[in-house]
Structure 1
Amino acid sequence: MRRVHVFRIAHSQHKKIIIRFIFTGMVLEQTEANMRPFHDWKAALAGASDLEQRFDAWVFLNASSVLLSEKTGELLSLDLEEMGMSVAQVEAGLARLAAQWGFDFRLLIESNGLQKFIIFQTERLQAVLESAPYCVMGAQLNYHYPLRAGSFIDELRERWRLHGTIPHEIGVALGYPLDDVFGYMGLLPLSCKGVCGWQVYGCMKESQRRSCAFNNARCQALIFLSQIAGVSAS
């Protein structure tokens, strides 16, 4: 039997959004196990400052596909003025959450008041890098071997800062199938087969499966946050 969850989550001080999601019992059971590491954080959140509550909820929601699902990483952009934080505060907040929730992160670039950073799982990224073809990563993109997760992210950051544009190969660290990333970049002789949140050049079924998993994680994060009184993820 399917369950219907209806809840409210604050969008601004003056607006409320009512969101309805339908999940199978199997998805709920699987996610409940994934949520266990976050229950202590949830219990202690009421004693945190308003700023810490807003920042934590924002990170939890926007990185939910990494925290609650299989996504390798998530590229995030935080409006410093809107959140009321400095770059140093963002870095300290991410370090605190990384220790609690078990992820890695890198600050990438700050531009026009937006701090861009990546949250990722090192083991997942390392596994992806080890499966990436040398003819693309080494011969065409000139990444030094052996590929290591941390040094790959650091090199991405330096290339972004040097050229002023985001390197498309960052998709390797964001959980997208390699065929989709390299096909989009024109580095593999593949044609676009369709779209499922991103352009698909490899197996459509696998890309759709990942897209559903990522979306389900965000929905579960919204449900989780809706159960915390006074906390907004906007």
Structure 2
Amino acid sequence: MSQEVFELVQGMDLKSIETQIALQCAPLISGLKVSNLLIISAEDEALVRVILRRSGISFFRLLRTGEKVTFLLFRKNPLEAYLKQQEVEAMLAEAGYAELSLGNILSTFQKRYAHYMSAGGRFPHEMGLLLGYPAEDVRGFVENEGKNFLYSGYWKVYADVEEKRRLFQKFENAKETVIQLLSYGVGIQDILDIYKDENEPKQAAV
């Protein structure tokens, strides 16, 4: 994050749901990622649902604990396409997912994640797949128990380091753009509308 944008963030209300959506989910908003986690105050849950209602971004509540709510935000078609990749399906099957529809995957993961958060035990590493991380990096993380990574950014990288570095920089650029728009007085719903138009498939001319 550039010094200019860092200073903008320092002047923002960090508790504002608009600021939190921008800081946590800019790569998803911009179409660079298929999904992101959003962790917010429980009192903001209803507002998040209103903000995202017509944004083109789907949401699924993974967990509510005390004062916090964890959502998975995602673009449905891109996430489904990613989860249908052969290596991703193989890893989900290895993790015990018998039925690989998006709804079943989310429901099963929700139960596993809630159990982990309440009782501990094995962390459900398939979260990396739900977040759209490259399959080789998720597998590398699991097989190496989080060690021996080649680079660490938005996730731990086990292959194609330079490609991932460039991607992480794009994520940072997206975050800076969304933060700057907010600082100019553009509301988060308007920002979502801008990117929704950019990310919707264009119809061919006839």
Q: TM-score, normalised by structure 2?
A: 0.73
Q: Does 1:102 align with 2:56?
A: yes
Q: 1:126 to 1:225 in 2, by over 3 A?
A: same
- Paired with 1:125 and 1:157, the residues of 2 have a C-alpha distance of 16
Q: What do you get for the CA RMSD once the two structures are aligned? A: 3.1
Give the gaps of 5 or more residues in structure 2.
189-206
Distance in 2, Cα, partners of 1:5 & 1:77: 25
User: 4+ residue stretches of structure 1 with deviation over 6 A?
Assistant: none
TM-superposition CA deviations, 1:24-45 (whole Å, max 9, x none) = xxxxxxxxxxxxxxxxxxxxxx
* Aligned counterpart, 1:216: 173
5+ residue gaps, structure 1, are 18-49
Give the aligned partner of residue 83 of structure 2.
129
Q: Aligned pair 1:152/2:105, yes or no?
A: yes
Change (3 A) 1:93 1:185: same
Q: How does 1:45-194 map to 2 (within 5 A)?
A: 54-80=16-42, 85=43, 90=45, 92-133=46-87, 134-138=89-93, 140-145=94-99, 147-164=100-117, 165=120, 166-186=123-143, 192-194=149-151
- Aligned residue in 2 for 1:36: none
- AA paired with 2:50? R
Work out the CA distance in 1 between the residues paired with 2:155 and 2:50.
32
Report how far residue 103 of structure 1 moved. 0.4
SS in structure 1 of the partner of residue 8 of structure 2: strand
TM-score for both structures, normalised by structure 1:
0.65
Q: How far is 1:229 from its partner?
A: 8.1
Greater Rg over alpha carbons, structure: 1
Residue range with higher mean Cα deviation, 217-226 or 152-161: 152-161
Q: CA shift at 1:10, angstroms? A: 5.8
Aligned 8 A contact 1:94 1:105 in 2: no
Q: How does 1:31-50 map to 2 (within 5 A)?
A: none
After superposition, the C-alpha distances for 1:78-117 in whole angstroms (9 at most, x for unaligned) are 134xxxx2xxx51x32332222321011111122422111
Q: Post-superposition shift, 1:122?
A: 1.2
Give the fraction of aligned pairs with identical amino acids, expressed as a percent.
22
| SS of the residue 1:97 aligns to | helix
Give the deviation of 1:226 after TM superposition. Answer: 0.7
1:68–1:115 CA distance, 2 compared to 1 (3 A):
same
| In structure 2, C-alpha distance between the alignment counterparts of 1:152 and 1:107, rounded to whole Å | 13
Deviation of residue 136 (structure 1)?
A: 2.2
Report the CA distance shift for 1:172/1:109 in structure 2 as closer, same or farther (over 3 A): same
The Cα shift of 1:141 comes to: 0.3
